[in-house]
Chains A and B, each alone.
Chain A
Amino acid sequence: MCVQLDEREIQDNPFRPDLWRIVRHYPLTSDVNFYQARPVDNDEALRLDYIPGQFVMMSIPGEGEAPFCISSTPSRPGLLEFCIRNMGTLTSTLFTIKENQTVGIRGPYGNGFPIDKMEGKDILIVAGGMGSAPLRSLLLYVLDNRDRFGRLIYLHGAKNEGEMLFKEEFIQLKQRDDVEMLMSVDKDETGTWPYKVGLVTTLFKDLGKIDPNNTYAAVCGPPVMYKFVMQELVKLGIPKHQILMTLERRMKCGVGKCGHCAVEYLYTCIDGPVFSWWDVLRMKELIGRGASDKTIA
């Protein structure tokens, strides 16, 4: 090979963020905000397409850039939604941003959920805490394309009622008869929570009979949650390659160049962030050292 590029090949810059407008934002909990963003360029807004489970790189000039998962569904086009916790320099600046201000966004990136393969199957979603940020995208996508999927079950665990993301939205979905919404809180300090109290795994008792070979599970939550949820899913008999999870890593490029999200020969940004439980079992560092070290199931 000899490297002889033409001008266009050099000019195309995948690292350049586009300007997006924050069209709306409001708090979901005391430290998590909900954002709706839309490309300033209208044509670009109309062209926007993505897959549930993908993410973008979001920039604030002077503060830097970081990956954020998408909480909205491509079946409701024109804008992207994010759920962001105030925990670093970039996110704390995002908390001071006003509606109609602009941010830099590039993407969407990542593999996303294998929607085509999941079609026709039963979908079991298990979200813990912030895990509902990427999984809401899948939930809404399945709801918007309801006749293309089988049974839809959504298990949601939150620390307490106050920290539950999308509380009103999810409680309202409970009224529908084409989705089974099962929700729990670890602790009911106020005594006002009308549903289950306990860890998200307690919800598995209320699942009823499932058809494991015909089911795709999608899981996201804090690292400690995986081990216990995986035990339940494997116990149900769902094949390990049909148990999917979306993972978090430090990223500086989003396009497989900067190296930070490397796990063995894979990059979380381009080969993930959606991986299967089988991937996790054979590639030791996907959900953190030790988490799957001694698990053979």
Chain B
Amino acid sequence: MMILKMKKGDLSAFLDAAKEWGELWGPTKKDGRVTYSKVDGLSQMDLKATRTIIPPKKFLYPPRFTMFDYDQDGYVDRLGDVSKKVLFGIHPCDIHGILIMDQLFLGTYRDPYYAERRDKTLIIGHSCIPDDKCMCFVTNTEFIAEGFDLFFTDMKMFYLVWVGSTKGHDLVRMRPDLFNRNLDRNDILGYTEYRKWHSAQSKAKVDFNGMPDIFELGYNSPIWDKLGEKCLSCGQCSMVCPTCNCYNVEDKVDLGALAGTRERFWDTCMFREYSLVAGGHNFRDKRADRLRLWYTHKLQAFIGEFGKPACVGCGRCVETCPVDINVVTVSTALKDQELVK
């Protein structure tokens, strides 16, 4: 790893230079809501905001896009038309989410649509200010060592900048005058202090230890039926979750033509049709069954296979679910065998 130092006042000039690589996108606040927007520069961004509504997965894997154009002669890939983007201000939990997506989409049977966007998107991370919904302290996603091109840690008077890839290094080389390598004892002490401060912000009251066993023991627990009665099957939890990757595919026919497009769009296991097969058999007909699948995947199956939960502790489900079903309430209810209203 390479760590550099930058004066705070130089960030704006650096981001202006980075625009040469691609469109600059960052967190902005509109009507009290934080979203990633295309911006002209640092002044339009809100770097103090804790989380955006939708995680950065939407850049690597858009909510809806065209996979193929088809006609009588077959299917033609819709690849190569993605614009280059520099994403600034991505927090460690969301980069952990991207790493989980990478594992899925770039592993066996590499997804070319994800790969192209991943290749054309620079991830520039930024340290965060946790709030009471953050759980990164519990999911071990508070800090990040890989998956980004650059990572900026705010040290009050200056930035410590981690260089995570050759592309990140290329950005640094655009304005080498803004960075220096002269790190000293005070930087170590300062960074140690920063980590202590960050971890001390934890207000998380959840603990995922032993979850695979709790889920196994609780498979037939009436808690699932109670949660199922509350759940609206709206699927917002999946839209905002950095590790939800499920999608659906449909063909769109051009009017009056034997041509059209094959499109891919976000799906969720909360929808009734998710496990429905031809002939009408539904493997997960009840809301309780579908809810259990979502949480089993995140907190039991994923831990069983990869040794860590498919939850990066971002707190979006806590903020979003209209009926208060989230990783905290579900894991607590399952452990205590009691659903707090």
Contacts and interface: CB of A to CB of B under 8 A. Distances in A.
Interface of A: 1-5, 9-19, 59, 61-66, 85, 87-88, 91, 102, 104, 223, 248-250, 252-253, 255-260, 262, 264-265, 270, 284-285, 288-289, 293
Contact of B104 (A3, A4, A18, A257): A257
B304 interface: yes
B79 A4 contact: no
A64 B68 CA distance: 12
Contacts of B79: 10-11, 13
B260 A10 contact: no
B40 interface: no
B279 interface: yes
Contact of B116 (A10, A17, A59, A284): A10
A264 B293 CA distance: 8
B275 A270 contact: no
Given A257-B104, A257-B109, A65 B249 contact: yes
B182 interface: no
Contact of A66 (B109, B219, B278, B289): B278
Contacts of B99: 1
Contact of B74 (A12, A63, A104): A104
A247 to B, nearest CB: 10
Nearest to B283: A288
B271 to A, nearest CB: 10
A256 B281 CA distance: 22
A3 B118 contact: yes
Given A2-B164, A258-B267, 13 more contacts: A2-B147, A3-B165, A12-B110, A61-B72, A87-B278, A104-B74, A248-B277, A250-B276, A252-B249, A258-B246, A265-B305, A288-B283, A289-B283
A4 B167 contact: yes
Contacts of A91: 278
B267 A11 contact: no
A64 B275 contact: no
Contacts of B164: 2
A9 B149 CA distance: 20
A167 to B, nearest CB: 22
20 contacts: A2-B164, A3-B106, A4-B166, A5-B115, A5-B119, A9-B115, A10-B115, A11-B79, A12-B112, A61-B72, A62-B258, A62-B260, A91-B278, A255-B109, A257-B247, A259-B267, A262-B269, A264-B301, A289-B284, A293-B220
A66 B146 CA distance: 37
- Max chain A C-beta neighbours (<10 A), residue from B71, B109, B250, B304: B109
Contacts of A257: 104-105, 109, 111, 245, 247
A262 B297 CA distance: 9
A13 B69 CA distance: 14
B260 A61 contact: yes
Interface in B251-290: 251, 253, 258-260, 262, 267, 269, 274-279, 281, 283-284, 289
Tier of interface size on chain B? 35 or more
Contacts of A258: 246-249, 267
Contact of B274 (A1, A260, A293): A260
Given A2-B146, A12-B110, A265 B115 contact: no
A125 B277 CA distance: 24
A223 B283 CA distance: 11
Given A16-B75, A104-B75, A265-B302, A289 B249 contact: no
B219 A61 contact: no
A3 B102 contact: yes
A259 B269 contact: yes
Contact of B251 (A63, A87, A285): A63
A10 B277 CA distance: 32
A250 B276 CA distance: 6
A13 B77 contact: yes
B108 interface: yes
5 A-B pairs with the lowest CB-CB distances in the bound complex, closest first: A259-B246, A2-B165, A265-B301, A255-B109, A265-B305
- Max chain A C-beta neighbours (<10 A), residue from B164, B167, B279: B279
Nearest to A266: B301
B296 A16 contact: no
A286 to B, nearest CB: 9
B47 interface: no
B70 interface: yes
Contacts of A66: 278
Contacts of B296: 264
B111 A87 contact: no
- Max chain A C-beta neighbours (<10 A), residue from B167, B277, B289, B305: B277
Contacts of A3: 102, 106, 118-119, 147, 165
B141 interface: no
A179 B62 CA distance: 54
A1 B253 CA distance: 41
